[in-house]
Structure 1
């Protein structure tokens, strides 16, 4: 009840972000229920159902990431004057943020259930959609309840863990910060590069063992080969991108500030270095998601995202399009929300620069410079890794 009262008076932008979580939860719940419908309708295809359920874990993780990003920027989860005196300390505010996230995800899951039942024809009217997509047999109520609870539980726990007291993000850049704060590169860059290289090497090795007779979970000779090895190599490459992204953003900031840099380059590089951990993590996830989408396109072609099969190669049809869209949209929204959060955290520093006479045009040019450089460099890195990772899959 307290979470509802605190959230009722929020600004429209806050409600819009909560609505995005609501929509993402609805889409993920629909995917989970569609997987259950396939399992019930085709009991002999246990491996296919297990693979569909494993694929649903990716949209589930993307939805949880979006829910955490929205909860971090929710004004109801921040300490304000008088809250401690009223008994609202950091622990209770964390619980309120988690409860708000759970409530939004529960409502979204219920919407996904209604859409799923309507397409199956369980709410009256003719069924909509192919039978192979949603199935027609009755669903076990216990399984439906477990799958509907998956999104609220995962998102709520992730929100509580990330926002728990004592786990704070790096502070906004200040004029009196010691130089070593801006020069300390995140430790994940070399490890991320090594993990990405190992994943690409494993893909190249495993690609030689793929073919018509290869089995998905075959692990001969103590090494992961075949399709499983290719997929494992791509997962390692994606994890390497996520791990290396903060360090890469920090390195871009250092390069911008090198040499006889002017005020625009110096300010843009300083901000990138200070915000590398905060902005780099969601950027790394977005890079991995784009790399995975490109790999799927290489393997299945345009039919991978079509509403119907394409030369017998499409894996899920409309569910592929829904799941891929959920992952890409959620990760992109996380980046935008994190950028807005970073801008809010720098508001005091920006106001101080304006008070000492810094032109507004200089601040805009610095923002445009760091955004353009980030887009160009990270797009090039993502495209190169995605092309190398998708090569063995296409072969």
Structure 2
């Protein structure tokens, strides 16, 4: 109830962000229900059902990452004197963030259930037929326990990620207050992210080789949710997770590269800012890099001889969720970066630093990120598409 009252005080931008989180969770819930319907309607195709369920994990990961990024900039979880008076101090703000995110995601999943049920029963009174019946798995009753379990996954995962993100938000500032002259430590997730990405590429290559060695047609392209086997889909999921884990380390690496050699004041300022804010913006930029790699890999696959089948509606929906969540998460991370650097920027202006120099520093940070993340996305895309087009 307290979280709902705080929502009434939100600005339009914050309400739009909450609505976007709810919409993303609802779309993921719709995809999960579609995977369940397919499994119930086709018990003789466990491999295809597993592939559809694994495809849902990619938009789920994007939705969870965006929910965590949105929670870090949520006005209701910022320390305020009024919250301290009602017992919501900094130690209990993660709980408030988790409840607020869970409410938004639950509302989205409830709407997804209503929409999915209405489509299965037929909006005009007649049940769907043909491709629509195959898509929705109509004619079979869904297990209620399975429906409740699947629809509980997006709210619980997003709430847990929001609580962790809110809890970790105060750690960089606390370290800076304790040691203002100590260089920011490197994030520990880069080696783990590289390892997970390498495992994902290995799993995808192994699965593609096994599928190609069997008698029959070549490995199909991802025109539908079950176009690829579970191994290839699981490999792509691990690649995405690895890039998200490696994101903070990559941003920190960009800051180190700016300070190589004998940097001037502009390079020192830009590099220091990237290293300090890498834990805040790294995961969102890692997800954006994964989306760019996926887009390049898909373009490579569909540009191969023979092309690929037309993408189905569920594939389009999942792709839209991933792209929207990645772009919105990057914009939210940029807003958080600007808010975190506001005091430092004001201090530089007071000592006489011109606005042109500050804009040049921002442009230099963007150029450094593009110089590192763009080639990485291209390399991952080439390695991911290679086992499927050779």
Into which bin does the TM-score normalised by the smaller protein fall?
A: 0.7 to 0.9
Match of 2:251 in 1: 249
Residue 151 of structure 1: CA displacement?
A: 1.7
Map 1:206-221 onto structure 2 (within 5 A): 208-211=209-212, 213=214
Q: Within 1, Cα distance between the matches of 2:280 and 2:113?
A: 35
Question: Is the contact made by 2:247 and 2:286 (CA closer than 8 Å) also made in structure 1?
Answer: yes
Alpha carbons of 1:251 and 1:213: their partners in 2 closer, same or farther (altered >3 Å)? same
Q: Within 1, Cα distance between the matches of 2:110 and 2:101?
A: 14
Q: Deviations over 1:123-174 (max 9, x none)?
A: 544456622111211333332222222222222233234334x773412997
The answer as to 2:378 corresponding to 1:375 is: no
Bigger mean CA deviation after superposition, 355-364 or 289-298: 289-298
The answer as to 2:363 corresponding to 1:361 is: no
Alpha carbons of 1:312 and 1:372: their partners in 2 closer, same or farther (altered >3 Å)? closer
Q: Within 2, Cα distance between the matches of 1:204 and 1:148?
A: 32
Q: Within 2, Cα distance between the matches of 1:2 and 1:343?
A: 29
Alpha carbons of 1:341 and 1:144: their partners in 2 closer, same or farther (altered >3 Å)? same
Match of 1:118 in 2: 118
Residue 347 of structure 1: CA displacement?
A: 0.8
Match of 1:185 in 2: 186
The answer as to 2:156 corresponding to 1:153 is: yes
User: Is there any run of 5+ residues in structure 1 with no aligned partner, and where?
Assistant: 216-225, 304-309
Residue 180 of structure 1: CA displacement?
A: 3.8
Which structure carries more relative contact order (alpha carbon 8 Å, separation 6+)? Answer: 2
Q: Within 2, Cα distance between the matches of 1:51 and 1:203?
A: 13
Q: Within 2, Cα distance between the matches of 1:157 and 1:194?
A: 24
The answer as to 2:320 corresponding to 1:325 is: yes
Q: Within 2, Cα distance between the matches of 1:154 and 1:189?
A: 23
Q: Deviations over 1:176-197 (max 9, x none)?
A: 9655424x43344455445545
Q: TM-score, normalization: structure 1?
A: 0.83
- The correspondence for 2:145, drawn from 135, 142, 147, is 142
Q: Deviations over 1:167-226 (max 9, x none)?
A: 7341299799655424x43344455445545655666666554415179xxxxxxxxxx9
Match of 2:219 in 1: none
Match of 1:258 in 2: 260
Structure 1 segments, 4+ long, off by >6 Å, are: 172-176, 226-229
Q: Within 1, Cα distance between the matches of 2:231 and 2:287?
A: 22
Question: Is the contact made by 2:51 and 2:230 (CA closer than 8 Å) also made in structure 1?
Answer: no
Alpha carbons of 1:103 and 1:38: their partners in 2 closer, same or farther (altered >3 Å)? same
Match of 1:163 in 2: 166
Task: State the SS of the aligned residue for 1:171.
Answer: helix
Map 1:157-306 onto structure 2 (within 5 A): 157-164=160-167, 168-171=170-173, 178-182=180-184, 184-190=185-191, 192-193=193-194, 196-197=197-198, 200=201, 208-211=209-212, 213=214, 234=236, 237-299=239-301, 301=302
- Give the RMSD, CA atoms, in angstroms: 3.2
Q: TM-score, normalization: structure 2?
A: 0.84
Task: State the SS of the aligned residue for 1:170.
Answer: helix
User: Is there any run of 5+ residues in structure 2 with no aligned partner, and where?
Assistant: 217-227
The answer as to 2:35 corresponding to 1:35 is: yes
Question: Is the contact made by 1:298 and 1:393 (CA closer than 8 Å) also made in structure 2?
Answer: no
The answer as to 2:62 corresponding to 1:62 is: yes
Alpha carbons of 1:23 and 1:238: their partners in 2 closer, same or farther (altered >3 Å)? closer
Q: Within 2, Cα distance between the matches of 1:102 and 1:193?
A: 31
Q: How many residues get paired?
A: 375
Residue 234 of structure 1: CA displacement?
A: 4.9
Question: Is the contact made by 1:172 and 1:346 (CA closer than 8 Å) also made in structure 2?
Answer: no
